[in-house]
């Protein structure tokens, strides 16, 4: 295997960002382990991505299943260089309408699945002395521009915190292990239509939607040049900075803008 090629695990690979990422990484010759719950779709993505792509049907909310995914990756290729926790699901309910089941599902799919992935693969990275963990979060974890995403935003904020903490924990003793957080903005996928309680709307955003290929190429570049955090849309970072400079003023400005955009009744 070429030293430039990396063994890469991608969860949530049957569609959206995960499928686009598999395509780009597979075409570059990287051996892939692709995981998702939907077997037929996952197999098709693997076939399209690369002859060296191995599909493994996995429910990432099940810790034993995630451990099995790691073990199958090791059995197939003998090592893992990059592990990408990409699986996730949205919701379309404001905070006051959330049920226990809604909140638990968002945390299980968007946070616990990534926690299981981190705990499964990082000991392998420590043993090897190198590796790259990438967690796919969301710009909405930083700025409440789509409050109907409520528990999804909260789950991604929790993922951000876990990612930062494990990065700090590892840095001193294991500097060759990279931990990265990727925060896409609005992406043109079926993600919204698959959200819990979807009402057919799209989150309003001050930035244009990106394609899955644009987001995937940002992650490909991140694998080549690891860093702590990446906003895939260049417009995101200035918006985040403006929000945290004065949260109250930012939110008041957004309220005023929505009122101006509201049609006359």
The predicted model gives 206-218 an average pLDDT of: 90
Name the residue range of residue 103's domain. Answer: 8-234
Query: Which pLDDT score is estimated for 29?
Result: 97
Average pLDDT over residues 66-78: 98
pLDDT higher than 90, residue 247: yes
Q: Estimate to the nearest angstrom the gap between the alpha carbon of 38 and the chain centroid.
A: 18
Q: What is the pLDDT of residue 193?
A: 54
> Is residue 36 a contact partner of residue 19, using CB atoms and an 8 Å limit?
no
pLDDT of residue 255: 77
Residue 265 has pLDDT above 50, yes or no: no
Q: Which two tokens stand for residue 226?
A: 């690891």
Confidence check: pLDDT of 66 > 70: yes
What pLDDT, on the 0 to 100 scale, is given for residue 204? 53
Domain assignment present for 33:
yes
CA angle in degrees (0–180, nearest 5) for 9-222-78: 30
Tell me how far CA of residue 208 lies from CA of 32, 139, 242, in angstroms. Answer: 31, 13, 18
Name which residue leads in pLDDT, 107 or 198: 107
* Confidence band, pLDDT 50/70/90 cuts, at residue 192: low
Say what the pLDDT of residue 177 is: 98
For 1-30, what is the mean pLDDT? 92
Instruction: Give the pLDDT of residue 3.
Output: 57
Helices 16-27/39-49 angle, 10° precision: 30
CATH of the domain at 69: 3.40.50.720
- The CA dihedral of 228, 174, 5, 159, to the nearest 10 degrees, is -40
Average of per-residue pLDDT values in the chain: 92
Cβ atoms of 215 and 17 within 8 Å: the answer is yes
Query: Interhelix angle for 150-171 vs 100-107, to 10°?
Result: 30
Taking CA atoms, 14 is separated from 43, 90, 93, 244, 249, in Å, by 8, 16, 25, 35, 41
Q: Is the sign of the CA dihedral 120, 195, 201, 101 positive or negative?
A: negative
254: in domain: no
- Over residues 45-73, mean pLDDT: 97
Residue 95 C-beta-side C-alpha neighbours within 13 Å: 6
% of the chain with per-residue pLDDT over 70 = 89
- Whether residue 107 lies inside any domain: the answer is yes
In a domain, 131, yes or no: yes
- In 3D space, the residue among 29, 197, 31, 162 whose CA is nearest the CA of residue 85 turns out to be 162
Mean pLDDT across 125-137: 98
Model confidence at 86: pLDDT above 80: yes
Overall number of domains in the chain: 1
- For residue 195, the model assigns a pLDDT of 61
In the block, tokens 């995630």 appear at 66
Alpha-helical segments (H) within 30-171? 39-49, 63-77, 100-107, 113-128, 150-171
Q: Is residue 97 part of a domain?
A: yes
The structure tokens 């904020």 sit at 157
In a domain, 262, yes or no: no
User: Which residues are known catalytic residues?
Assistant: 152
The pLDDT value given to residue 59? 98
Q: Is residue 193 part of a domain?
A: yes
How confident is the model at residue 139, as a pLDDT?
A: 96
Domain contains 170:
yes
pLDDT of residue 19: 98
């Amino acid at each position: 295997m070429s030293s430039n090629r990396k063994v890469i695990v991608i969860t949530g690979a049957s569609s959206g960002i995960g499928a686009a990422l598999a395509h780009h990484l597979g075409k570059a010759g990287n051996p892939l382990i692709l995981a998702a719950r939907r077997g037929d779709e996952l197999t098709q993505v693997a076939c399209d991505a690369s002859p060296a792509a191995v599909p493994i049907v996995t429910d990432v909310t099940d810790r034993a299943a995630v451990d099995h995914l790691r073990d199958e990756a090791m059995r197939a290729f003998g090592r893992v260089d990059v592990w990408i926790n990409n699986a996730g699901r949205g919701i379309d309910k404001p905070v006051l309408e959330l049920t226990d089941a809604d909140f638990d599902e968002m945390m299980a799919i968007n946070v616990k699945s990534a926690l299981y992935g981190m705990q499964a693969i990082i000991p392998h990275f420590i043993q090897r002395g190198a590796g790259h963990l990438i967690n796919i979060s969301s710009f909405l974890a930083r700025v409440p521009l789509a409050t109907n995403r409520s528990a999804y935003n909260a789950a991604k904020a929790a993922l951000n915190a876990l990612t930062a903490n494990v990065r700090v924990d590892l840095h001193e003793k294991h500097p060759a292990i990279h931990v990265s957080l990727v925060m896409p903005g609005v992406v043109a996928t079926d993600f919204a239509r698959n959200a819990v309680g979807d009402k057919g709307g799209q989150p309003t955003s001050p930035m244009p939607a990106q394609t899955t290929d644009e987001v995937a190429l940002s992650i490909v570049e991140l694998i080549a040049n690891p860093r702590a955090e990446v906003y895939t849309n260049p417009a995101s970072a200035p918006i985040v900075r403006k929000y945290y400079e004065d949260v109250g003023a930012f939110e008041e400005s957004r309220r005023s803008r929505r009122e101006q955009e509201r049609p006359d009744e």
